[in-house]
Structure formats: structure tokens, C-alpha cells
Amino acid sequence: KAGVTQTPRYLIKTRGQQVTLSCSPISGHRSVSWYQQTPGQGLQFLFEYFSETQRNKGNFPGRFSGRQFSNSRSEMNVSTLELGDSALYLCASSLGLAPDQFFGPGTRLTVL
């Protein structure tokens, strides 16, 4: 079974721009969660989607948004990028009824 895939793997943007990251979960998984990983703050939960609905949300500003499609693929969008948004963005998928999560390799975002 293929694992979680994330595209692109690397991104460089400038302040004020916006960015969209994509995540394809493991086949059959209906839940997708997004996390931001930085050296200073560790792994922080952004939001979780299940069957195209956002079920849970972390404490991030409204500039961070996401959505999930009918095939369970998910996208995350960050608008008006700030230098502090530079991080590794990780996507994790699960069946949705239990919290066993499997992570993708991440997208490394650098904001200049």
C-alpha cells in the first residue's frame, strides 16, 4: 500500500505571497491532519478533516486554511505569508475512527 504523499517537497516564497500544499492519504483513509513543525515549537496541530468536513482545529490564525476533497485528498493554504511561517508542514492520515496516524514526508516551506 502506498504511503502518504505530499507535494511539493520544497517551496520558497516571499513575504506576502500565498501558498497551497497538497496531501494524498493512504488509500482507504478518510481523515487527514495537518501539522506545522519548527525547531522552536515542535509539532503543532493545525486542523483535521474527515469526509470533507473540518472536525478539529488548532490555535493558528485564519491565514491558515484547508479543505478536503471527496477522494480524501487534502490541501492546505497559507495566505499573506510571514517569515515565521517557515517550517516543515506535515500531513498525517488515518482511517478516521481511531487516532492511529501515518505521516507523509512533509513540505519544507521557506519564506524569504
Partner 1 sequence: GENVEQHPSTLSVQEGDSAVIKCTYSDSASNYFPWYKQELGKGPQLIIDIRSNVGEKKDQRIAVTLNKTAKHFSLHITETQPEDSAVYFCAASTVSAGGFKTIFGAGTRLFVKA
CB of 55 to partner 1, least distance (A): 4
> Between 17 and 102, whose beta carbon lies closer to partner 1?
102
Comparison of 10 and 62: residue with beta carbon closer to partner 1: 10
Do you find a cis peptide bond into 39, omega within 30 degrees of 0? no
Residues lying near partner 1 in the complex (CB under 8 A) are found at 4, 31, 33, 35, 42-45, 48, 50, 55-56, 90, 92, 96, 98-106
Rounded Cα gap, residues 40 and 110, in angstroms: 15
Residue count of the chain: 112
Residue pair 11/19 in contact (Cβ under 8 Å)? The answer is yes
User: Which C-beta is closer to partner 1: that of 7 or that of 18?
Assistant: 7
